Amino acid sequence: MTTTIPVAGGAFAPYEVVVGRGLLKTAGAEVAALKPTRAFIVSDETVAAIHGETVRASLEGAGLATGIVTVPAGEASKSFEQLEAVLDRLLAEGLDRKSLVVALGGGVVGDLAGLAAALFMRGIDFVQIPTTLLAQVDSSVGGKTAIDTPRGKNLIGAFHQPRRVLADIEALATLPVRQVRSGWAEVLKHGLICDAAFFDWLGGEGAAGAQGDPDALERAVIRSVEIKAQIVGEDEKEAGRRALLNLGHTFGHALEAELAFDETLTHGEAVALGCAMAFRYSARQGLCPAVEAERAEAGIRAAGLPTRLSDVAHAFAADALIARMAGDKKAEGGRLTLILARAVGDAFTDKDVDAEAVRAFLIEEGAA
Ligand SMILES: NC(=O)c1ccc[n+]([C@@H]2O[C@H](COP(=O)([O-])OP(=O)(O)OC[C@H]3O[C@@H](n4cnc5c(N)ncnc54)[C@H](O)[C@@H]3O)[C@@H](O)[C@H]2O)c1
Ligand SMILES: O=C(O)C(=O)C[C@@H](O)[C@H](O)[C@H](O)COP(=O)(O)O
Ligand SMILES: [Zn+2]
């Protein structure tokens, strides 16, 4: 059985996210229905070795000319160097404007391949086949594509929506447990933003999902995609409500950048810690009851995710973190923007954050 979730709102061509089992094997027919001249796979070395042949055979079986380009696994591949390598390969392969890119992998591959598709001949179609939980619940939906630079996270990118998203729950069976938990962080984020009942389910009946239980994972993917689809349908380019999806990211991206995007923290772990910090900061500023910040932190920690700077083996400096946060894409005219909360399930955007209050908070949190 599959579940189909529409992503629509008028600002872009509508598309569907299909969630189900065995979708890697049937991807060929789904892609062929879009009638491309070719369907070229972009993946990373790890995913290509596990799932590449299934998808390649499915595309070929559906009569599509195909091929595959891979990048090394990991965040470091969201780089100018790998973007250039992928684009050069697409050119060398002779793809045309009616060719289609198939992004097969986690958020790194989706963001990189999506940006390559946005740039190739000024924009060609792409299909997302997300193989991590994080990519299924978040990065494959909504059209944000990007690479990092040493100056910060996702600073070079484009909005480019996929034509279709195929989220195969069976693909998650090979995912390391650390990566399952990492994706769970973005799932928890969706509950923290706007669905307190979902957040409580994730910590109760649904908690097995964080350990890889496929039924709980499927429900978590479906509800997450419903939440994200509704928000991006209203606000594709983050003029307003979409910024809520950045809960935990202003802190989280600053931590990732300070760690030079190494493996100390995955993106999901940084977001988990960032969400706990956003709730504690909200409580400190009197915007949210302390008990709600404790509820948020307990739910995140119960899933085995970090909630405190002391959980990370690195000495962070408050000023360095603030400088990173000032370079965040949400900052306007030098003012920090943070996504804060009144309670679990009730996040809001604060565009006028006092940097001195954040500095004091970071020092209370253990930054130097
Ligand atoms: N565009 C967006 O809206 C958006 C949203 C959230 C996150 N992101 C981005 O996504 C990235 C993180 O994505 P991620 O967490 O998927 O990381 P990732 O793509 O690096 O994947 C994590 C690891 O899992 C491996 N892997 C992937 N699928 C596998 C499978 N089925 N079996 C075994 N191993 C598998 C990968 O090779 C990699 O080593 C970050 O760069 C983040 O900024 C983007
Ligand atoms: O889709 C969005 O909008 C999000 O903010 C989702 C985030 O989980 C994701 O990490 C996104 O890439 C962050 O966007 P950025 O604009 O802060 O780079
Ligand atoms: Zn994220």
Helix (H) or strand (E) holding 61: helix 53-61
- Domains of the chain as residue ranges with CATH: 2-172 (3.40.50.1970), 183-365 (1.20.1090.10)
Two structure tokens written together for 280: 């504690």
Q: Which pLDDT value is given to residue 336?
A: 95
Mapped onto helix, strand or coil, the DSSP state of residue 308 is coil
The stretch 222-239 carries a mean pLDDT of: 98
45 is catalytic: no
The stretch 203-222 carries a mean pLDDT of: 98
Give me the helix-helix angle, 214-234 and 177-194, nearest 10°. 50
pLDDT in tens, 271-310: 999 999 999 999 999 999 999 999 999 999 999 999 999 9
ipTM: 0.99
Query: What residues contact 226, with CB distance under 8 A and at least 6 apart?
Result: 5
Question: Can you tell me which residue has the tokens 């909630």?
Answer: 307
Which ligand 1 atom minimizes the distance to the CA of 74? Answer: 20
Neighbours of 120 (CB within 10 A): 20
Which ligand 2 atom minimizes the distance to the CA of 141? Answer: 1
> Does residue 333 surpass a pLDDT of 90?
no
pLDDT in tens, 76-123: 999 999 999 999 999 999 999 999 999 999 999 999 999 999 999 999
Mean pLDDT of the chain: 97
CA-closest candidate to residue 253, choices 193, 323, 319? 323
Two structure tokens written together for 76: 């470091």
pLDDT in tens, 142-173: 999 999 999 989 999 999 999 999 999 999 99
pTM beyond cutoff 0.90: yes
Is residue 94 a known part of a binding site? Answer: no
> Does residue 68 surpass a pLDDT of 90?
yes
154 is catalytic: no
Neighbours of 54 (CB within 10 A): 17
224 close to ligand 1 (CB < 6 Angstrom): no
